[in-house]
Structure 1
Amino acid sequence: MAFKSFTDSLHKVTEKIEDYSISTAEYYKLRLFKSSMKGAVSLVNLLVYGSLFLFVMLFLSIGAAFWLGTFFEHSYVGFLLVGVFYGIILIFMFIYGRKMIERKMLYKFSGLLYDEDDLAPKEVAENEVKEYEKTLDNEVLQNVNNSNV
């Protein structure tokens, strides 16, 4: 009789371990899917807004080049001045902007991957252990009640 209840308990423990491993794998699959979808949406937004921004900057630059060309009476001077302006911005970005851009991108993408509302794996494991302990306590009470009857 005791051996049978012991084997039943072992079977239940193995079932709980299997359930826990399956639920943990499903949790990480969902988390990976969520993170990859957030990254994909962010990439699409970057491509759409970035391309629109480039078109706006292109037409503004051409307009500014023609305007400066009429101001200096030679159109090529306007295009050279706009090119020099973008070259200076590029140099400043290489010197001062690299760390700032890296910091902002790391902050942005870490915010995409880790949400505050997500449960940490440690919390999930603790919840599973507490649930399993309640199940064991209930089984012990049932065994005690069955042996008293």
Structure 2
Amino acid sequence: MASPAYQEPVMKVVGSVQSYMESSTDYVRLHVFKTLMRLLTSFAKSSSVGVLVVLGLMFLSVGGSLALGEWLESYPLAFTLTGVFYFLAGIVAYLLRSRIDRWVLESFSDMYWNK
């Protein structure tokens, strides 16, 4: 058994290590919470803005198609042209998907790693 002279400093060191571990654990939990909340609020804001943009785009598409239909004197042709436009936009987005992925990863990694 260790002598009492060594026992007290060892117990102080053990106490200090335990205190350090508890404060480090609390810091990590706080950091993870902060990061998750930033990501969640960013997702909520992006989702709400995205929904509103999609609704606006939908109404603009219908209005534009109706106006184009009057101009072309053919509503089916106007709606078909609008559909072709969105189809081509989808193809362009598909071709640029790696750039979009890179942009999203860079945005979220900056948010995660920068406090």
Give the alignment's TM-score, normalised by structure 2. Answer: 0.93
Structure 1: which 4+ aligned runs deviate by more than 3 Å?
A: none
| Residue of structure 2 equivalent to 1:59 | 59
Give 2:7's aligned amino acid.
T
State the structure with more CA Rg.
1
| Residue of structure 2 equivalent to 1:100 | 99
Distance in 2 separating the partners of 1:39 and 1:4:
52
Alpha-carbon shift at residue 4 of structure 1 (Å): 3.1
Structure 2: any 5+ residue segments left out of the alignment? none
Alpha-carbon shift at residue 80 of structure 1 (Å): 0.5
Alpha-carbon shift at residue 5 of structure 1 (Å): 3.5
Alpha-carbon shift at residue 53 of structure 1 (Å): 0.3
Within a 5 Å distance, the mapping from 1:1-149 to structure 2 comes to 3-95=3-95, 97-115=96-114, 118=115
Alpha-carbon shift at residue 101 of structure 1 (Å): 0.7
Distance in 2 separating the partners of 1:98 and 1:27:
37
Give the alignment's TM-score, normalised by structure 1. Answer: 0.73
Q: Supply the RMSD in Å over aligned alpha carbons.
A: 1.0
Give 2:74's aligned amino acid.
H
Alpha-carbon shift at residue 32 of structure 1 (Å): 0.8
Q: % of aligned pairs identical?
A: 28
Give 1:68's aligned amino acid.
L
Structure 1: any 5+ residue segments left out of the alignment? 119-149
